[in-house]
Structure 1
Amino acid sequence: MNEDDKLHEEAEEIRQETAAEAPELAEHDRLAELERQLEEAHSKALYAAAETQNVRRRLEQEKTSAAAYAATGFARDMLAIKDHLDRALAAVSDELRADQTAANFLAGIEATARELEAAFTRNGVTRVESKGARLDPHKHQAMVEIPTGDAEPGTIIEEMQAGYMLKDRLLRPALVGVAKAAD
Protein backbone atom coordinates (compact mmCIF):
# COMPACT_ATOMS: atom_id res chain seq x y z
CA MET A 1 0.00 0.00 0.00
CA ASN A 2 1.27 3.30 -0.92
CA GLU A 3 0.79 6.50 0.90
CA ASP A 4 -2.19 7.63 -1.19
CA ASP A 5 -3.99 4.37 -0.50
CA LYS A 6 -3.38 4.79 3.21
CA LEU A 7 -4.79 8.31 3.10
CA HIS A 8 -7.85 7.11 1.18
CA GLU A 9 -8.34 4.30 3.65
CA GLU A 10 -8.09 6.68 6.63
CA ALA A 11 -10.49 9.12 4.99
CA GLU A 12 -12.94 6.26 4.40
CA GLU A 13 -12.70 5.23 8.06
CA ILE A 14 -13.38 8.83 9.15
CA ARG A 15 -16.39 8.98 6.81
CA GLN A 16 -17.77 5.76 8.22
CA GLU A 17 -17.28 6.96 11.80
CA THR A 18 -18.93 10.29 11.01
CA ALA A 19 -21.80 8.54 9.28
CA ALA A 20 -22.23 6.33 12.32
CA GLU A 21 -22.24 9.40 14.62
CA ALA A 22 -24.55 11.49 12.37
CA PRO A 23 -27.79 9.86 13.49
CA GLU A 24 -26.68 10.40 17.08
CA LEU A 25 -25.98 14.11 16.37
CA ALA A 26 -29.28 14.50 14.50
CA GLU A 27 -31.12 12.85 17.39
CA HIS A 28 -29.35 15.17 19.85
CA ASP A 29 -30.38 18.23 17.80
CA ARG A 30 -33.95 16.95 17.60
CA LEU A 31 -33.99 16.35 21.35
CA ALA A 32 -32.65 19.87 22.00
CA GLU A 33 -35.35 21.32 19.71
CA LEU A 34 -38.07 19.34 21.50
CA GLU A 35 -36.77 20.53 24.88
CA ARG A 36 -36.83 24.13 23.64
CA GLN A 37 -40.40 23.71 22.40
CA LEU A 38 -41.41 22.11 25.70
CA GLU A 39 -39.87 25.00 27.65
CA GLU A 40 -41.66 27.50 25.39
CA ALA A 41 -44.99 25.70 25.86
CA HIS A 42 -44.42 25.57 29.62
CA SER A 43 -43.65 29.30 29.67
CA LYS A 44 -46.82 30.06 27.68
CA ALA A 45 -48.89 27.88 30.02
CA LEU A 46 -47.52 29.72 33.07
CA TYR A 47 -48.24 33.08 31.42
CA ALA A 48 -51.80 32.00 30.57
CA ALA A 49 -52.38 30.76 34.13
CA ALA A 50 -51.08 34.07 35.55
CA GLU A 51 -53.26 36.05 33.16
CA THR A 52 -56.30 33.98 34.12
CA GLN A 53 -55.57 34.60 37.80
CA ASN A 54 -55.24 38.35 37.15
CA VAL A 55 -58.54 38.45 35.28
CA ARG A 56 -60.25 36.48 38.05
CA ARG A 57 -58.85 38.84 40.72
CA ARG A 58 -59.85 41.93 38.71
CA LEU A 59 -63.38 40.62 38.21
CA GLU A 60 -63.67 39.84 41.92
CA GLN A 61 -62.57 43.40 42.78
CA GLU A 62 -65.06 44.85 40.29
CA LYS A 63 -67.82 42.67 41.72
CA THR A 64 -67.01 43.77 45.27
CA SER A 65 -66.84 47.41 44.21
CA ALA A 66 -70.12 47.17 42.29
CA ALA A 67 -71.85 45.64 45.31
CA ALA A 68 -70.38 48.22 47.71
CA TYR A 69 -71.30 51.21 45.57
CA ALA A 70 -74.50 49.96 43.92
CA ALA A 71 -76.57 52.36 46.01
CA THR A 72 -74.68 55.49 44.88
CA GLY A 73 -77.47 56.82 42.66
CA PHE A 74 -80.13 56.03 45.23
CA ALA A 75 -78.10 57.66 48.00
CA ARG A 76 -77.68 60.83 45.92
CA ASP A 77 -81.44 60.94 45.37
CA MET A 78 -82.04 60.53 49.10
CA LEU A 79 -79.71 63.45 49.86
CA ALA A 80 -82.18 65.79 48.17
CA ILE A 81 -84.91 64.51 50.49
CA LYS A 82 -82.63 65.00 53.50
CA ASP A 83 -81.92 68.58 52.38
CA HIS A 84 -85.65 69.33 52.14
CA LEU A 85 -86.31 67.88 55.59
CA ASP A 86 -83.43 69.88 57.09
CA ARG A 87 -84.63 73.11 55.45
CA ALA A 88 -88.19 72.49 56.66
CA LEU A 89 -87.00 71.94 60.23
CA ALA A 90 -84.70 74.98 60.11
CA ALA A 91 -87.57 77.20 58.94
CA VAL A 92 -89.80 76.38 61.92
CA SER A 93 -89.99 79.24 64.39
CA ASP A 94 -89.97 78.92 68.18
CA GLU A 95 -93.59 80.13 68.26
CA LEU A 96 -94.66 77.31 65.96
CA ARG A 97 -92.75 74.80 68.07
CA ALA A 98 -94.72 76.00 71.12
CA ASP A 99 -98.05 75.16 69.42
CA GLN A 100 -99.04 71.60 70.45
CA THR A 101 -100.52 70.62 67.06
CA ALA A 102 -97.50 71.93 65.18
CA ALA A 103 -95.17 70.32 67.73
CA ASN A 104 -96.68 66.88 67.01
CA PHE A 105 -96.30 67.49 63.30
CA LEU A 106 -92.68 68.60 63.81
CA ALA A 107 -91.97 65.53 65.93
CA GLY A 108 -92.97 63.37 62.97
CA ILE A 109 -90.71 65.32 60.61
CA GLU A 110 -87.81 65.10 63.09
CA ALA A 111 -88.36 61.34 63.49
CA THR A 112 -88.30 60.96 59.70
CA ALA A 113 -85.06 62.95 59.51
CA ARG A 114 -83.48 60.81 62.27
CA GLU A 115 -84.55 57.58 60.55
CA LEU A 116 -83.11 58.81 57.25
CA GLU A 117 -79.85 59.67 59.02
CA ALA A 118 -79.79 56.19 60.63
CA ALA A 119 -80.36 54.57 57.20
CA PHE A 120 -77.45 56.60 55.82
CA THR A 121 -75.23 55.45 58.68
CA ARG A 122 -76.18 51.78 58.19
CA ASN A 123 -75.27 52.03 54.52
CA GLY A 124 -71.97 53.88 54.91
CA VAL A 125 -73.19 57.35 53.96
CA THR A 126 -71.43 59.92 56.14
CA ARG A 127 -71.43 63.69 56.29
CA VAL A 128 -68.29 65.52 55.17
CA GLU A 129 -66.84 67.59 58.00
CA SER A 130 -66.63 71.18 56.84
CA LYS A 131 -66.96 74.10 59.24
CA GLY A 132 -63.62 74.93 60.83
CA ALA A 133 -61.70 72.54 58.55
CA ARG A 134 -59.22 73.46 55.82
CA LEU A 135 -60.64 73.54 52.31
CA ASP A 136 -60.14 70.14 50.66
CA PRO A 137 -60.97 70.30 46.93
CA HIS A 138 -61.68 66.56 47.01
CA LYS A 139 -64.51 67.06 49.51
CA HIS A 140 -65.49 70.73 49.39
CA GLN A 141 -66.56 73.17 46.72
CA ALA A 142 -65.79 76.78 47.60
CA MET A 143 -68.74 78.95 46.62
CA VAL A 144 -67.59 82.24 48.13
CA GLU A 145 -64.57 83.77 49.82
CA ILE A 146 -65.44 85.74 52.93
CA PRO A 147 -63.02 88.40 54.17
CA THR A 148 -62.40 87.92 57.88
CA GLY A 149 -59.72 88.39 60.48
CA ASP A 150 -61.20 85.71 62.75
CA ALA A 151 -60.05 82.69 60.75
CA GLU A 152 -56.95 81.72 58.83
CA PRO A 153 -57.31 82.05 55.03
CA GLY A 154 -58.40 78.77 53.45
CA THR A 155 -60.46 77.74 56.50
CA ILE A 156 -64.12 76.93 55.97
CA ILE A 157 -66.28 79.35 57.96
CA GLU A 158 -69.68 78.68 56.41
CA GLU A 159 -71.43 75.59 55.07
CA MET A 160 -74.19 76.27 52.56
CA GLN A 161 -74.94 72.64 51.76
CA ALA A 162 -73.63 69.53 53.49
CA GLY A 163 -71.40 67.15 51.58
CA TYR A 164 -71.61 63.36 51.88
CA MET A 165 -69.38 60.35 51.31
CA LEU A 166 -70.43 56.78 50.49
CA LYS A 167 -67.74 54.73 52.23
CA ASP A 168 -64.61 56.26 50.68
CA ARG A 169 -66.23 57.86 47.61
CA LEU A 170 -67.59 61.37 47.43
CA LEU A 171 -71.33 61.44 46.79
CA ARG A 172 -71.62 65.20 46.86
CA PRO A 173 -69.13 67.91 47.80
CA ALA A 174 -69.96 70.31 50.59
CA LEU A 175 -70.76 73.79 49.30
CA VAL A 176 -68.80 76.14 51.54
CA GLY A 177 -67.68 79.67 52.22
CA VAL A 178 -63.94 80.03 52.78
CA ALA A 179 -62.11 82.65 54.83
CA LYS A 180 -59.78 85.04 53.09
CA ALA A 181 -57.57 87.75 54.51
CA ALA A 182 -59.46 90.93 55.40
CA ASP A 183 -58.71 93.88 53.14
Structure 2
Amino acid sequence: MSEENRENKEKENMDKVVNKNKDLNDNPKVIKDNEQEEILSQESVEHDEENKKEEKTTQELEKELEETKDKMLRVLAESENTRKQIEKNRIDMAKYGVQPLARELVNVLDNFERALNSLNEAEEKKTLEGFKLIEKEIINILERFNVKKIEALGKPFDANLHQAMFEKPTEDFDVGAVCEIVQDGYMFHDRLLRPAMVGISKSEIKKEEEDKIEVESPKDDKEQR
Protein backbone atom coordinates (compact mmCIF):
# COMPACT_ATOMS: atom_id res chain seq x y z
CA MET A 1 0.00 0.00 0.00
CA SER A 2 1.35 3.38 -1.02
CA GLU A 3 1.82 6.23 1.37
CA GLU A 4 -0.96 8.16 -0.26
CA ASN A 5 -3.47 5.32 0.12
CA ARG A 6 -2.63 4.89 3.84
CA GLU A 7 -3.18 8.56 4.49
CA ASN A 8 -6.51 8.41 2.70
CA LYS A 9 -7.55 5.42 4.83
CA GLU A 10 -6.69 7.15 8.11
CA LYS A 11 -8.56 10.23 7.00
CA GLU A 12 -11.66 8.17 6.28
CA ASN A 13 -11.51 6.61 9.76
CA MET A 14 -11.14 9.98 11.39
CA ASP A 15 -14.08 11.28 9.40
CA LYS A 16 -16.22 8.36 10.61
CA VAL A 17 -15.37 9.05 14.25
CA VAL A 18 -16.04 12.74 13.83
CA ASN A 19 -19.32 12.04 12.07
CA LYS A 20 -20.39 9.60 14.80
CA ASN A 21 -19.67 12.07 17.56
CA LYS A 22 -21.45 14.71 15.58
CA ASP A 23 -24.47 12.46 15.22
CA LEU A 24 -24.51 11.88 18.97
CA ASN A 25 -24.20 15.55 19.72
CA ASP A 26 -26.82 16.42 17.19
CA ASN A 27 -29.27 13.79 18.60
CA PRO A 28 -30.97 15.16 21.78
CA LYS A 29 -32.63 11.84 22.57
CA VAL A 30 -29.33 10.04 22.91
CA ILE A 31 -28.00 12.76 25.19
CA LYS A 32 -31.15 12.69 27.29
CA ASP A 33 -31.03 8.93 27.61
CA ASN A 34 -27.44 9.05 28.77
CA GLU A 35 -28.24 11.72 31.31
CA GLN A 36 -31.20 9.75 32.62
CA GLU A 37 -29.06 6.66 32.97
CA GLU A 38 -26.53 8.62 34.99
CA ILE A 39 -29.28 10.11 37.16
CA LEU A 40 -30.90 6.72 37.72
CA SER A 41 -27.55 5.20 38.58
CA GLN A 42 -26.86 7.98 41.10
CA GLU A 43 -30.35 7.66 42.57
CA SER A 44 -29.88 3.91 42.89
CA VAL A 45 -26.66 4.42 44.83
CA GLU A 46 -28.30 7.02 47.05
CA HIS A 47 -31.30 4.76 47.56
CA ASP A 48 -29.07 1.89 48.64
CA GLU A 49 -27.32 4.16 51.10
CA GLU A 50 -30.66 5.36 52.46
CA ASN A 51 -31.82 1.76 52.87
CA LYS A 52 -28.67 0.90 54.78
CA LYS A 53 -29.13 3.93 57.02
CA GLU A 54 -32.79 3.08 57.62
CA GLU A 55 -31.92 -0.55 58.34
CA LYS A 56 -29.26 0.53 60.84
CA THR A 57 -31.61 3.05 62.43
CA THR A 58 -34.35 0.40 62.74
CA GLN A 59 -31.97 -2.03 64.44
CA GLU A 60 -30.83 0.67 66.85
CA LEU A 61 -34.43 1.58 67.66
CA GLU A 62 -35.33 -2.06 68.25
CA LYS A 63 -32.33 -2.43 70.56
CA GLU A 64 -33.25 0.73 72.48
CA LEU A 65 -36.85 -0.45 72.72
CA GLU A 66 -35.75 -3.82 74.11
CA GLU A 67 -33.46 -2.13 76.64
CA THR A 68 -36.26 0.22 77.70
CA LYS A 69 -38.60 -2.75 78.05
CA ASP A 70 -36.09 -4.58 80.27
CA LYS A 71 -35.64 -1.49 82.44
CA MET A 72 -39.40 -1.11 82.84
CA LEU A 73 -39.76 -4.77 83.81
CA ARG A 74 -37.00 -4.42 86.41
CA VAL A 75 -38.61 -1.28 87.82
CA LEU A 76 -41.98 -3.03 87.99
CA ALA A 77 -40.41 -6.05 89.70
CA GLU A 78 -38.65 -3.85 92.26
CA SER A 79 -41.85 -1.92 92.84
CA GLU A 80 -43.78 -5.15 93.42
CA ASN A 81 -41.12 -6.44 95.82
CA THR A 82 -41.22 -3.16 97.73
CA ARG A 83 -45.01 -3.31 97.92
CA LYS A 84 -44.89 -6.90 99.22
CA GLN A 85 -42.25 -5.97 101.82
CA ILE A 86 -44.32 -3.01 103.03
CA GLU A 87 -47.40 -5.22 103.25
CA LYS A 88 -45.45 -7.87 105.17
CA ASN A 89 -44.13 -5.25 107.59
CA ARG A 90 -47.66 -3.95 108.10
CA ILE A 91 -48.99 -7.44 108.80
CA ASP A 92 -46.08 -8.23 111.14
CA MET A 93 -46.64 -4.97 113.01
CA ALA A 94 -50.33 -5.74 113.45
CA LYS A 95 -49.58 -9.33 114.41
CA TYR A 96 -46.49 -8.99 116.59
CA GLY A 97 -46.64 -5.34 117.69
CA VAL A 98 -47.83 -6.22 121.21
CA GLN A 99 -45.07 -8.79 121.79
CA PRO A 100 -43.24 -6.66 124.41
CA LEU A 101 -46.52 -6.17 126.31
CA ALA A 102 -47.26 -9.89 126.12
CA ARG A 103 -43.84 -10.68 127.57
CA GLU A 104 -44.49 -8.34 130.50
CA LEU A 105 -47.91 -9.87 131.13
CA VAL A 106 -46.35 -13.32 131.21
CA ASN A 107 -43.98 -12.13 133.94
CA VAL A 108 -46.94 -10.74 135.90
CA LEU A 109 -48.65 -14.11 135.56
CA ASP A 110 -45.56 -15.80 136.98
CA ASN A 111 -45.77 -13.62 140.08
CA PHE A 112 -49.43 -14.46 140.57
CA GLU A 113 -48.71 -18.16 140.29
CA ARG A 114 -45.95 -17.87 142.87
CA ALA A 115 -48.31 -16.02 145.17
CA LEU A 116 -50.96 -18.70 144.74
CA ASN A 117 -48.47 -21.46 145.45
CA SER A 118 -47.31 -19.69 148.60
CA LEU A 119 -50.83 -19.64 150.05
CA ASN A 120 -51.75 -22.52 152.32
CA GLU A 121 -55.06 -23.93 153.44
CA ALA A 122 -55.05 -21.64 156.44
CA GLU A 123 -55.30 -18.57 154.23
CA GLU A 124 -58.70 -17.05 153.81
CA LYS A 125 -60.69 -18.73 151.08
CA LYS A 126 -61.80 -15.42 149.55
CA THR A 127 -58.19 -14.26 149.14
CA LEU A 128 -57.30 -17.46 147.31
CA GLU A 129 -60.34 -17.19 145.07
CA GLY A 130 -59.50 -13.56 144.28
CA PHE A 131 -56.00 -14.49 143.17
CA LYS A 132 -57.35 -17.28 140.98
CA LEU A 133 -59.82 -14.93 139.29
CA ILE A 134 -57.04 -12.45 138.52
CA GLU A 135 -54.85 -15.25 137.18
CA LYS A 136 -57.67 -16.50 134.97
CA GLU A 137 -58.31 -12.99 133.62
CA ILE A 138 -54.65 -12.52 132.72
CA ILE A 139 -54.61 -15.89 130.95
CA ASN A 140 -57.73 -14.90 128.97
CA ILE A 141 -56.12 -11.60 127.94
CA LEU A 142 -52.99 -13.41 126.77
CA GLU A 143 -55.02 -15.92 124.78
CA ARG A 144 -56.93 -13.13 123.05
CA PHE A 145 -53.56 -11.85 121.82
CA ASN A 146 -52.59 -15.39 120.72
CA VAL A 147 -50.19 -15.93 123.62
CA LYS A 148 -50.41 -19.60 124.60
CA LYS A 149 -48.62 -21.67 127.20
CA ILE A 150 -46.27 -24.36 125.89
CA GLU A 151 -47.48 -27.80 127.02
CA ALA A 152 -44.14 -29.36 127.92
CA LEU A 153 -44.67 -31.89 130.74
CA GLY A 154 -44.18 -35.45 129.49
CA LYS A 155 -43.18 -34.27 126.01
CA PRO A 156 -39.78 -35.15 124.46
CA PHE A 157 -37.22 -32.43 125.09
CA ASP A 158 -37.18 -29.90 122.23
CA ALA A 159 -34.33 -27.39 122.22
CA ASN A 160 -36.47 -25.05 120.11
CA LEU A 161 -39.09 -24.79 122.87
CA HIS A 162 -37.41 -25.93 126.08
CA GLN A 163 -34.44 -24.83 128.16
CA ALA A 164 -32.97 -27.73 130.15
CA MET A 165 -32.15 -26.81 133.76
CA PHE A 166 -31.24 -30.25 135.15
CA GLU A 167 -31.57 -34.01 134.65
CA LYS A 168 -33.53 -36.17 137.07
CA PRO A 169 -33.87 -39.97 137.32
CA THR A 170 -37.53 -41.00 137.37
CA GLU A 171 -39.68 -43.97 136.43
CA ASP A 172 -42.74 -41.85 135.70
CA PHE A 173 -41.44 -40.43 132.39
CA ASP A 174 -39.56 -41.74 129.39
CA VAL A 175 -35.85 -41.04 129.23
CA GLY A 176 -35.27 -37.65 127.61
CA ALA A 177 -38.79 -36.42 128.36
CA VAL A 178 -39.69 -33.30 130.32
CA CYS A 179 -40.35 -34.49 133.87
CA GLU A 180 -40.64 -31.15 135.67
CA ILE A 181 -41.57 -27.56 134.81
CA VAL A 182 -39.44 -24.91 136.49
CA GLN A 183 -41.02 -22.02 134.57
CA ASP A 184 -43.71 -22.14 131.89
CA GLY A 185 -42.85 -21.20 128.33
CA TYR A 186 -45.11 -19.31 125.93
CA MET A 187 -45.70 -18.99 122.19
CA PHE A 188 -46.80 -15.72 120.57
CA HIS A 189 -48.57 -16.67 117.33
CA ASP A 190 -45.88 -18.77 115.61
CA ARG A 191 -42.98 -17.16 117.51
CA LEU A 192 -41.35 -18.32 120.71
CA LEU A 193 -42.08 -15.70 123.35
CA ARG A 194 -40.21 -17.50 126.12
CA PRO A 195 -38.80 -21.05 126.35
CA ALA A 196 -40.04 -23.37 129.06
CA MET A 197 -37.43 -24.03 131.76
CA VAL A 198 -37.61 -27.75 132.43
CA GLY A 199 -36.05 -30.77 134.08
CA ILE A 200 -35.23 -33.79 131.89
CA SER A 201 -35.82 -37.41 132.82
CA LYS A 202 -32.83 -39.76 132.76
CA SER A 203 -32.50 -43.51 133.39
CA GLU A 204 -31.84 -45.02 136.83
CA ILE A 205 -28.94 -47.03 135.35
CA LYS A 206 -27.18 -43.84 134.33
CA LYS A 207 -27.78 -42.45 137.82
CA GLU A 208 -26.32 -45.59 139.43
CA GLU A 209 -23.25 -45.38 137.20
CA GLU A 210 -22.70 -41.76 138.18
CA ASP A 211 -23.09 -42.62 141.88
CA LYS A 212 -20.62 -45.47 141.47
CA ILE A 213 -18.07 -43.15 139.89
CA GLU A 214 -18.52 -40.66 142.71
CA VAL A 215 -17.99 -43.41 145.31
CA GLU A 216 -14.94 -44.88 143.57
CA SER A 217 -13.22 -41.57 142.91
CA PRO A 218 -12.11 -40.93 146.55
CA LYS A 219 -10.81 -44.52 146.76
CA ASP A 220 -8.70 -44.04 143.67
CA ASP A 221 -7.31 -40.84 145.10
CA LYS A 222 -6.42 -42.64 148.33
CA GLU A 223 -4.63 -45.45 146.46
CA GLN A 224 -2.65 -42.90 144.50
CA ARG A 225 -1.55 -41.22 147.73
- Mark the runs of 5 or more structure 2 residues left unpaired by the alignment: 1-39, 207-225
Give the Cα–Cα distance (whole angstroms) in 1 for the partners of residues 182 and 41 of structure 2: 101
> Which structure is higher in strand share?
1
Select the residue among 152, 157, 166 that pairs with 1:135.
Answer: 157
**2:125 counterpart letter in structure 1:** A
TM-score by length of 1: 0.85
**1:153 counterpart letter in structure 2:** V
**1:95 counterpart letter in structure 2:** A
Deviation at 1:14, TM superposition (A): 7.2
Deviation at 1:15, TM superposition (A): 7.3
- Mark the runs of 5 or more structure 1 residues left unpaired by the alignment: 1-12, 97-101
Is 1:109 paired with 2:131? yes
Select the residue among 22, 25, 38 that pairs with 2:52.
Answer: 25
Aligned to 1:84: 111
Is 1:172 paired with 2:199? no
Q: Which has the larger radius of gyration?
A: 2
Aligned to 1:53: 80
TM-score by length of 2: 0.70
- Aligned alpha-carbon RMSD (Å): 1.9
Deviation by residue 1:89-133 (Cα, 9 ceiling, x = unmatched): 11211232xxxxx21122211111110011011110000011000
Secondary structure of the residue aligned to 1:94 is coil
Deviation by residue 1:49-82 (Cα, 9 ceiling, x = unmatched): 1110111001100111111111111111111110
Select the residue among 145, 149, 162 that pairs with 1:123.
Answer: 145
Tell whether the 8 Å contact from 2:105 to 2:142 is kept in structure 1 after alignment.
Answer: no
Is 1:38 paired with 2:60? no
Task: Report how many residues are paired.
Answer: 168
Secondary structure of the residue aligned to 1:95 is coil
Give the fraction of aligned pairs with identical amino acids, expressed as a percent: 33
Give the Cα–Cα distance (whole angstroms) in 2 for the partners of residues 169 and 133 of structure 1: 19
Give the Cα–Cα distance (whole angstroms) in 2 for the partners of residues 176 and 15 of structure 1: 99
Aligned to 1:63: 90
